[in-house]
Structure 1
Amino acid sequence: MFPLRDNNPTVHRSIMTFYIITLNVLCWILIQGAGFPPFLQRSVVKFGLIPREIFSIFFKEKEISGSFFTYVINNTPKLYTIFTSMFMHGGWFHLISNMWFLAVFGDNVEDVMGSFKFFLFYILCGIGAFVVHSILNLSSSLPMVGASGAISGVLGAYFILYPRAPVYTLLFFGWIWTVIFPAWFLIGYWFLLQIIGGIPSLFISTGGIAFWAHIGGFLTGIFLVRFFIDPVRFEERRRCLGCVKKFYTPVRRSFFN
């Protein structure tokens, strides 16, 4: 399942969501060379978050050889990568899918927080994703990049704020269908997939998707959202809830009787 858009109108312009998307795209083009070597490899190594490097005081220096790079982890933690890794990506699909999710769900979360609070919330969710991923992968030498952890926190906030909001979704089931699901079902299904994907990584060292970063970001978002809501903006949002409920009713009758 892949979300196309939600039917959840906003009251205010989502400036920060646009800025974050723009910053990610600029980092991809200007720093990562739009995915072309050697810019991609160098950016991942320099700006990606490596748990073993962050906690390098507990490990000896180690040389890491990957499929297209070799680097040395030393005893000087690069703490700035906790921040920079959120704006690096591993490929075009990685970037586009992340930015699409942020565009679909971020505007409504920003709508009740305001631009500054939303940006701070976004960064804290990214840090929460790093903490959970690193605790479970202290000795990992694989760079972690991507906005997925922070965006997972946005999904967690959306899950709490707008559980009934209808989301138009591509469903791949024998054919490609366009269906409408309430947000709680779609995001809940996504979170279940992260749990299913994350459990094997507790026992087997694998690369690829950082499932526990997604889980950590999502749970951080659920926990923090209540502290970032602007009461005035929230009251203004309540005036728009009628149109959300209007569209939700046929969705509920269609899928959840």
Structure 2
Amino acid sequence: MFPLRDTIPRVHTPWAVWCILAANLAVFLWQQTLTPGETLRLFHFMGVVPARFAHPDWALTSGYPPGGVIAFAAHMFLHGGWGHFLVNMWTLWIFGDNIEDVMGPVRFTIFYLTCGLAALLTHMVFSASSTVPVVGASGAIAGVLGAYFLLYPHARVTTLVPLLFIPLIFDLPAVVYLGIWFVTQLLSGLTSLGSDGAGIAWWAHLGGFVAGFVLLPLFRQKGRCYYCRFPEGRGRGVIRAPHDPEA
């Protein structure tokens, strides 16, 4: 499934989302100037190799220098290819502005990075001995999805499902779209236990999603307006502030 758009309009200019998108784009374009060997080295030192931190003695004998904690933030801005980059950035573009609406740019940025860190730590719990670098923004973006699931369950997500050579496009309630996404990640994570997950950090996605769901109430900014819909009136939307008694 691939999201094309949602039905929740933004209220505020999403400065943080734009800046995060721009930062990811700048880093990705810089990556394109590197040779394959330089890219691999970049991923091993600026991405997170779980075994590097879980087994420091092994890391030293394998050529990793001490420290390297900058990778815990840097890995969120590295991507493995055009598909990886475009899917992540498009998903952030679709869902991120509505979450920034209720937080403001500073809180959203901290929320985003915190979810990315929670996603990474979840992956490391399940794959502590992995020597495969973790790169990408998907863990942090999963946190955005978790917050969206809690805040806008009655939104509609226009979804593309490629069936062989026939593209199917239809609307799904956000609670259904994100529920299917979560179950897919969970089943994939369970089947990948004991392996490197075929290059996909399924448990990072799950950890990020749960972090976003849990952290949303802590990062919401009182008095900041946002757009909401109600189940009893699907076509009706109102601008409302979080302190509103009916919010």
In the alignment, is the contact (CA less than 8 A) between 1:14 and 1:111 conserved in 2? Answer: yes
2:212 maps to which residue? 221
Distance 1:228 1:198 in 2: 28
Q: Cα deviation per residue 1:185-237 (whole Å; 9 max; x = unaligned)?
A: 1111011110111012223344410001101111111110110111211xx22
1:251 maps to which residue? none
1:195 and 2:186 aligned: yes
In the alignment, is the contact (CA less than 8 A) between 1:142 and 1:207 conserved in 2? Answer: no
Moved more, 6-15 or 100-109: 6-15
Cα deviation for residue 134 of structure 1 reads 0.5
In the alignment, is the contact (CA less than 8 A) between 1:28 and 1:35 conserved in 2? Answer: no
Unaligned runs of 5+ in 2: 238-247
1:252 maps to which residue? none
1:28 maps to which residue? 28
- What pairs up with 1:225-240 in 2 under 5 angstroms? 225-233=216-224, 236-238=225-227, 240=228
Cα deviation for residue 156 of structure 1 reads 0.2
1:166 and 2:165 aligned: no
Cα deviation for residue 99 of structure 1 reads 0.1
Distance 2:25 2:42 in 1: 14
Please provide the CA RMSD for this pair: 2.1
In the alignment, is the contact (CA less than 8 A) between 1:152 and 1:215 conserved in 2? Answer: yes
2:99 maps to which residue? 109
In the alignment, is the contact (CA less than 8 A) between 1:122 and 1:153 conserved in 2? Answer: yes
Cα deviation for residue 247 of structure 1 reads 7.4
1:126 and 2:108 aligned: no
Distance 2:44 2:104 in 1: 34
Distance 1:6 1:204 in 2: 35
Cα 1:170–1:36 change in 2 (3 A) is farther
1:139 maps to which residue? 129
Percent sequence identity over matched residues? 38
Unaligned runs of 5+ in 1: 64-71, 249-257
Q: Cα deviation per residue 1:73-127 (whole Å; 9 max; x = unaligned)?
A: 45x1311100000100111100000000000000000001000000000000001
**Structure 2 residue corresponding to 1:245, chosen from 218, 223, 234:** 234
Cα deviation for residue 178 of structure 1 reads 1.3
2:199 maps to which residue? 208
* Amino acid paired to 1:29: L
Paired residue secondary structure (2:235): helix
Paired residue secondary structure (2:36): coil
In the alignment, is the contact (CA less than 8 A) between 1:153 and 1:220 conserved in 2? Answer: yes
1:183 maps to which residue? 174
| TM-score, normalised by the number of residues in structure 1 | 0.85
Cα 1:173–1:204 change in 2 (3 A) is same
* Amino acid paired to 2:16: M
Alignment coverage as a number of residue pairs = 235
Distance 2:44 2:159 in 1: 35
Distance 1:178 1:83 in 2: 36
Cα deviation for residue 11 of structure 1 reads 1.1
Paired residue secondary structure (2:110): helix
1:254 maps to which residue? none
Cα deviation for residue 176 of structure 1 reads 1.0
Cα deviation for residue 40 of structure 1 reads 2.3
2:52 maps to which residue? 53
Moved more, 200-209 or 102-111: 200-209
